[in-house]
A and B are shown apart, each in its own frame.
Chain A
Amino acid sequence: MPNFGIAGGLGLALVRGISVAACLAVLGTIVFQLIVAPPALALMDASLAARFVWRWRRLLWTSLAIAALAGALWLLLASGRMAGVTEPGAMVAAVPLVIQHSRFGAMLATRLGLLAGASIALTARPHPNRLVLAASLAGAAAALQALVGHAASVGGALMDWLALSTLFHVLAAGLWLGQLPSLWRFLADAPPAAASLALRRFSPLGAACVLVLAATALAQGWGLVGGLAGAVGTAYGWADLAKLSLFVVLLAIAAINRFALMPKLEASDPAAARRTLCRSVMVETAVGLAIILVAGILASLPPGAGA
């Protein structure tokens, strides 16, 4: 059994995971409203559509608040660890130093600034241009993950490849997993025809994201796990295998949704099919969150390569 000494403790790893998950939810929720939802909303009467928009805004602001709070807590805990202090006052005092003198601090402060920018863009009445601006800012905030993880600390061309791979990985996760809470809430009450249309619009984007996630996970596994010995002999390898297992479960759920449940929406009992699909997307959302939390643990463990 490998040593699971998680740097900074499980709490820091989970805070990191929650921060990233919320950031991805912000991106996905905006993209859902921008790309997936509009034609489906047009099929509903105005009052029902307005109710969905209100729900969407509540989900978005909740995600933004969690992303900001978890991001700030992550910065605080990591600052304490970097400065080698554990008292709350000393940790707070370390934050400005970490922001000023480390790449991690600068990146996390920038992320919080980008999320604040997205919030400002969203405070006014929803408009496609403002949504595009907010999605760009949220996408940039999520993309900064590529510059604060393991990829950031290695040097040379390897860093470029790993960082590029992480960039694609994070954005694909945001565009797929980040949209799932919105899709789940939408399927809960949408008329079957609107639900079916939303799923048809979500499906191709989800498929492309799955391809990107699988390929970039392979690239990172190649670079960080350290082959079979690293996979079975290190805590990093075990955590990566757990993440891979969850990803396979996620793919299976997505395939069931796409090829078994979606066609039933247009069959004899669409209301029952919608309820089943809604529950399935809820489970898919939970598994997606679990994967991101495991990714937070992975980022706190030394890579198996070179161990």
Chain B
Amino acid sequence: MRKLSLVLLCLIVFAGTARAHARLESASPAVGGTVPTPPEQVAVTFSEKVEPAFSTIEVTDATGQRADTGKPHRAPDNPRVLIVDLRPIGPGSYKVVWRAVSVDTHRTQGSYRFTVAR
């Protein structure tokens, strides 16, 4: 019983805090940011691990044309990061719409813009 109590105490003391369902933590290019050269991909970092097979990242230019190449993939070194490759793009404003399914099956979505400088 004493060992059990010790294990339980450790569980309480060492527990940290978890965030809510997958939310955007950061992105590259940054949310609302301006980059000097056209990026080759968009990477979105979420607060939780995501399932790439059920998540999407769509990038469109100012005319509504798709700038991404399709399905996103997970970063090999971080299960919280989704990456989508871009077609060759030029200067202008781009909209990123993301829909994420976290590992615990919850769906979240959002959007942001970034700009490629002229």
Q: Give A contacts to B, CB under 8 Å.
A: 7-8, 78, 81-84, 97-98, 101-104, 148-155, 157-158, 161-162, 164-165, 168, 208, 211-212, 215-216, 218-220, 222-224, 226, 299-300, 302-307
> Is B15 in contact with A223, judged by CB distance below 8 angstroms?
yes
Quick check: B16 and A302 within 8 Å, CB to CB? no
A162 to B19, CA, bound (A): 13
Contacts of B5 in A (CB 8 A): 211, 215
Decide if B9 is an interface residue (CB 8 Å cutoff).
Answer: yes
B20 near A307: Cβ-Cβ < 8 Å: yes
Whether A149 lies near B104 (C-beta < 8 A) is yes
Q: Contact check, B4 vs A208: say whether CB atoms are below 8 A apart.
A: yes
- Give me 16 A-to-B residue pairs in the complex whose CB atoms sit less than 8 angstroms apart, sorted by A's number: A7-B106, A8-B105, A81-B105, A84-B107, A98-B54, A102-B51, A102-B53, A102-B105, A148-B105, A153-B48, A155-B49, A165-B11, A168-B7, A211-B4, A219-B8, A299-B104
Closest to B107 in A: A81
* Shortest distance from the beta carbon of A176 to any chain B beta carbon, whole Å: 14
A34 to B103, CA, bound (A): 36
Q: Which residue of A lies closest to B103 (CB)?
A: A153
Pairs A-B, 6 closest by C-beta atoms: A215-B8, A306-B19, A101-B53, A302-B20, A153-B48, A305-B17
For B49, the chain A residues whose CB sits under 8 A away are 152-155
Bound complex: CA A307 to CA B17 (Å) = 11
With both chains docked as a complex, state the minimum distance between the C-beta of A15 and any C-beta of chain B, in angstroms. Answer: 13
Contact A223 B8 (CB under 8 A): no
Judge whether A82 and B18 touch: CB under 8 Å: no
Chain B residues whose C-beta falls within 8 Å of the C-beta of A155 in the assembled complex: 48-49, 79-80
* Cβ-neighbour of A161 out of B15, B20, B53, B106 (below 8 A): B15
Chain B residues within an 8 Å CB radius of A148: 104-105
Does the CB pair A82–B20 fall under 8 Å?
A: no
| B101: min CB distance to chain A, Å | 5
Bound: A178/B48 CA distance, A: 32
Besides A148-B104, A154-B19, A211-B4, 11 other A-B contacts (C-beta < 8 A): A84-B99, A102-B51, A102-B53, A102-B101, A104-B105, A155-B80, A212-B4, A219-B12, A223-B18, A224-B18, A302-B21
Question: B47 at the A/B interface (Cβ < 8 Å)?
Answer: yes
Q: Report if B84 contacts A (CB, 8 A).
A: no
Report which of A164, A216, A303 forms a contact with B20, defined as CB distance below 8 A: A303
- Chain A, interface SS category: helix
Contact mask for chain B residues 77-118; partner A; CB cutoff 8 A; 1 contact, 0 none: 001100000000000000000010111111100000000000
Report the minimal beta-carbon distance from B9 to chain A, rounded to whole angstroms. Answer: 7
A105 CB to closest chain B CB (Å) equals 9
Other-chain residue from A82, A164, A168, A218 in contact with B105 (beta carbon distance below 8 A): A82
Q: Which residues of A contact B9 (CB under 8 A)?
A: 215
Min Cβ gap B71→A in Å is: 11
Cβ B18 vs Cβ A219 within 8 A: no
Query: Whole-angstrom distance between the alpha carbons of A165 and B11 in the complex?
Result: 6
Contact between B12 and A222 (Cβ–Cβ < 8 Å)? yes
Q: How far is the CA of A153 from the CA of B100 in the complex (A)?
A: 12
Complex Cα–Cα for A307 and B18 (A)? 10
**One of B12, B17, B47, B101 near A82 (C-beta < 8 A):** B101
The minimal Cβ–Cβ distance linking A196 to chain B, given in whole angstroms, is: 24
Q: Is the pair B103, A82 in contact by a Cβ cutoff of 8 Å?
A: no
Task: Give Cα A150–Cα B19 distance, bound, in whole angstroms.
Answer: 9
Q: A183 vs B101: C-alpha distance in the bound complex, in angstroms? A: 41
CB pair B107 A103 closer than 8 Å: no
Question: Would you call B1 an interface residue if the criterion is a C-beta within 8 Å of the partner chain's C-beta atoms?
Answer: yes
